[in-house]
Structure 1
Amino acid sequence: MNDLLNRLFGLEGLGFGTPDAALVFERPLPGWGWALLAVACVALGLWTYRRLPGGGVTRALLACSRGLLIVLLALLAAGPQLRLDQIRVEPDRVFVLVDRSASLAVPDAPGGRTRAEQAEAALALAGPALEALRERSQVAVWRFGSDARESGESGESGESGDPATRIGFALAAVLDEARGAPIGGIVVISDGRSTDRVPAGVLRRLESERVPVFAVPLGSPDPVRSVGIERMESPGVAFVRDAVPVRARVEWSGGAPADARVELFDRVTGQVIDAAPVEASGDEPGAWVTLTVTPEESGTRDLGVRLVGVSEDIDAEDNTRRVALEVIDRPIRVLYLDGSPRWERHYVKNLLLREASIDSTAMILASGRQYVQEGDTLIARLPVSPEEWDAFDVVILGDMSADLFGGEQLAQLGEHVAQRGAGVLWMAGPGATPGSWFESPAGVLLPLRPGSIGVWDEPVVARPTPEADRLGVLRTGEDGKGWLERLSDPGAGWTRLQWALRPKPQDLKPGVATLAEAVGVDSGASAPLVLTMRYGAGRVALVGTDEIWRWRYGRGETVPERVWLPLIRMLARGRVESALGAGVLRVRPEQPRPGSPAVIELEVFDQGVIDRLPERVRAEVVRADGRRDSVDLRGEGASRTGEWIPDAPGAFAVELRDGPTELATLDASARVVEPGDERADLNTDHGLLAALCERTGGRVVGPDETDRLAEWVPNRSRVHTGTPIIETLWDRWVVLIAVLALASLEWVGRRLIRLA
Structure 2
Amino acid sequence: MIATNVLTPLAATILAQADQTIAPSTLKSLEFELPDSGGDWALFAGIAVAIVAAIWLYIRDTRMLSRGWTMFLAMLRVSVLAALIVIALNPQERTQRQAYRPSQVVLLVDTSTSMQQPASDPRTQETAEPLSRIDAVRQLLADSELIEQLREQHTVDIYTFDSDLSEARHHFSTRYVPEGQPVAPTGDPQEEPVVDWDELLETRGLSTRMGDSVDKLLAEVKSRTLAGVVVFGDGVSNAGRDVGTANERAKKNSIRLFSVGVGSTEPPLNLQLAKLIAPTDVQKGDAFELTALVRGDGLEGRTVKVSLQKRHSEESEAVIVETKEATLLEDGIPVEVTFEQTGDEAGEFEYTVQAALASETVESRPDDNVAARSVNVFDRPLRILVIAGGPMRDYRFSKNTLHRHRSMEIDVWLQTGSVGISQDADDLLFDFPETREELFGYDVVMAFDPDWSEIPEEGQQWLEEWVANEGGGMILVAGDVYTPQLAAAADDFTSILKLYPVVLEEVSMTLGSRDKSAEAWKLGLTQEGKAAAFLQVTDDPSTAMAVWEEFPGVYRCYPTRGRKGGTTVYAEFTDPLARGGDGQPVLLAAQRYSQGQTVYLGSPEMWRLRAMDEEFYDRFWIKLVRKAAEGRTKRGLQRGMLILQGADYDVGQTVPLRARVLNSQYRPLEQQTLGIDVYDPTGKPMVPPLTLRQDRNRPAEFVGDFRVALPGRYRLELSIPDSSETVVNEISVSLPKLEAASMQQDVQRLKSLVEETGGRYLSINEAAAELPALLPNMGQEFVIDQRLRELWDRQWVMFLLVGLLSVEWLTRKLLKLA
Q: Which has the larger radius of gyration?
A: 1
TM range (shorter): 0.3 to 0.5
Tell me the TM-score normalized by structure 1.
0.39
